[in-house]
Every structure is written in C-alpha cells, then in structure tokens.
Amino acid sequence: MTPTPASSKPTPLVGLFVTCLVDLFRPSIGFAAIKLIEAGGARVEAPRAQTCCGQPAYNAGDRKDAASIARQVVAMFEPYDYVVAPSGSCAGMLRVHYPRLLADDPDCGPRAEALAAKSYELTAFLVRVLGVSAVDAAFAGSVTYHDSCSALRELGVREAPRRLLRSVQGLSLVELGDAETCCGFGGAFSVKSPDISTAILDAKIRDIADTGAHTVLAGDLGCLMQIAGRLARERESIEARHVAEVLAGMTEEPAIAASRQKR
C-alpha cells in the first residue's frame, strides 16, 4: 500500500462502523476493512456498543426510533477522527440522512453534522482521505463490480473501488452493463415486495452473467446477499464477495452463500 506522505499530524483514529449485516453474516468484511485502514496508515477501533445505523426504522417511516438510534451512533463515534463503514448504504445514512433526521434537535443536530462530515464509505475513505492508490493483494481472474445505489448516488463513490481494484495483481475488471441500475435489494423492500425485488434482481444477474466474470464484487453486503442468494438459488457458478475482502487479500473464506466444505 501507498500511505499518505508522512506529515506532522498524529495518526488519525478511525471508528469502524461495522454494520449490522457484517456483524451478523460476514465478520471477515470487518476484519478486511481493519486491515485496509491500518495499512493505509490510520489506527482503527470498532466500538463495541454499536448495533445498527437505524435504516430499518427510518425507511419504514418510524422516525422516532430512527432518531434515537441515530443519537446513540452520534455520541458513540464522537471521539473518533473519522467514521468508516464497509457499506455505502450505512455511510450514506450517517453522512446524508442523520443531519436531516436530527435537524430539529438543538443538541444533537450540530453533532450529527459533525459526524456526517467525517463519515466515509470504506473505499472512498482509503482513496480520498488516506490517499491510498494501490493495495498489496492478488486475486486471479476477471471480476465485475456492482455499484450500490447509495454509494453511487448519495455519496458519489464510483472511481475509488475501481481504482483500488485495478491495483490488485492478476485481477481484471469487466464493467457491468446498466451499472447504475439497482439490484432490487432496498432493505425491507426485498421482503415486502419479493416478486418485484427479484424481477429487478434477475435483470442485474443477467448483466452480471453477460460480463463473463467469475466473481461479482460490491461494497455493500445488502446488495451482495441479494445477488449471491439468487445466484445460489439459480445454481449459477458466479461467486459474490465484498470488495474489501479482495482488496485486503482475505479471500480464504468461502464466497457469500457458497458451500463451506473444502472444494
């Protein structure tokens, strides 16, 4: 890795926002994120008291619960120089939605603004803040990258993951057709309207298959569970992984929804 040029500033301390999905389903993404942030020259901690960013409540119209969860997150991450999430969706919640959600709160409103300003999606943080331009990892074969809607449109993250992926030895990146289209996950939408969600997903799966890549990567575990879940159901041989696992060279765990037996 290429860390930022040495400066007189002390090493920044990053609070890792693990995300509830990574905590429950795929801890390896969290550890990959830690490895990447440390290699980029920052210290990192994952505060134990974190749970979720509150999106399930926020997007269901339960503003009150969403706001109290947001206050909890705002307070918990105040001591850190930066907050980094291996997810565009959760980072977008912190960065874009918390200030709006807490706008009427005279105490927490300004603190939410401060949190928003220092919150980043992982790959954007590595590239934009730590100035990382290459990683020390190898991954053989062709991959395609799925942009999550929140990373792409809420946070404007498009180049960062691609730039880092291009530095991975042996990896060739094939761009996805219709890359700006949603995978149909949308949190609770995926279970409230499973048929519509799956119809949208199937178009995405066709585009993924059309790339000929054997692995699909993304920066959001929500999208990945949706995509991998359907790939597995349809017995497709394409694997799905979080981009952090590949960038950190931590791909010894089976791919998402893949068999745990030794192949």
Partner 1 sequence: MDQPKHDFKQRAAQALGDTRLQKALQNVKRGFVEKRQAAKTKLPEFDRLREDARAIKDHTLSHLDLYLEAFERKVIESGGNVHYAPAAADARDIVLQLCQEVGAKLVTKGKSMVSEEIGLNAHLNAAKIEVVETDLGEYIVQLRGERPSHLIAPVIHLNRETIEADFRRAHQRLPYARRLDQPEHLVAEARAVLREKFLAADVGITGANLLIAETGSAVIVTNEGNGDLTATLPRTHIVVASIEKIVPTLEDAATILRLLARSATGQEITTYTTFLTGPRRDADPDGPLAYHVVLLDNGRSEMLGNEFADMLRCIRCGACLNHCPVYGAIGGHAYGTVYPGPMGAVLTPQLEGIDRARDLPNASSFCGRCEAVCPMDIPLPDMLRAWRERDFARGNPSRSERLLLKLWAYAAKRPRLYHALASFVARSLVRRGGPRGRLSHLPLAQSWTVTRDLPAPQGKTFHSLYARARKREARR
| CB-side neighbour CA atoms (13 Å) of 69 | 19
CB closer to partner 1, 56 vs 110: 56
**Contacting partner 1 within 109-138 (CB under 8 A):** none
**Contacting partner 1 within 149-178 (CB under 8 A):** 149-150, 153-154, 178
CB of 10 to partner 1, least distance (A): 21
CB closer to partner 1, 131 vs 156: 156
CB of 196 to partner 1, least distance (A): 5
Select from 59, 142, 167, 172 the one that contacts partner 1 (CB under 8 A).
59
**Contact between 108 and partner 1 (CB under 8 A)?**
no
**Contact between 179 and partner 1 (CB under 8 A)?**
no
**Contact between 14 and partner 1 (CB under 8 A)?**
no
**Contact between 209 and partner 1 (CB under 8 A)?**
no
d(CA 185, CA 204): 11
Select from 14, 32, 42, 52 the one that contacts partner 1 (CB under 8 A).
52
**Contacting partner 1 within 87-106 (CB under 8 A):** 100
Select from 3, 11, 65, 140 the one that contacts partner 1 (CB under 8 A).
65
Distances (CA, A) of 79 to 46, 111, 151, 168, 181: 12, 12, 25, 33, 37
Write out the two tokens for 18: 């693990």
CA angle 53, 129, 85 (to 5 degrees): 20
10 Å Cβ neighbour count for 137?
24
Map residue 101 onto helix, strand or coil: helix
| Stretch binding partner 1 (CB under 8 A), from 54-62, 120-128, 160-168, 208-216 | 54-62
Select from 197, 211, 215, 251 the one that contacts partner 1 (CB under 8 A).
197
Q: How many residues bind partner 1 (CB under 8 A)?
A: 72
Query: Helices (DSSP H) in the chain: which residue ranges?
Result: 20-25, 27-39, 55-59, 63-76, 88-92, 98-101, 108-117, 122-124, 149, 159-166, 189-192, 194-211, 221-233, 243-247
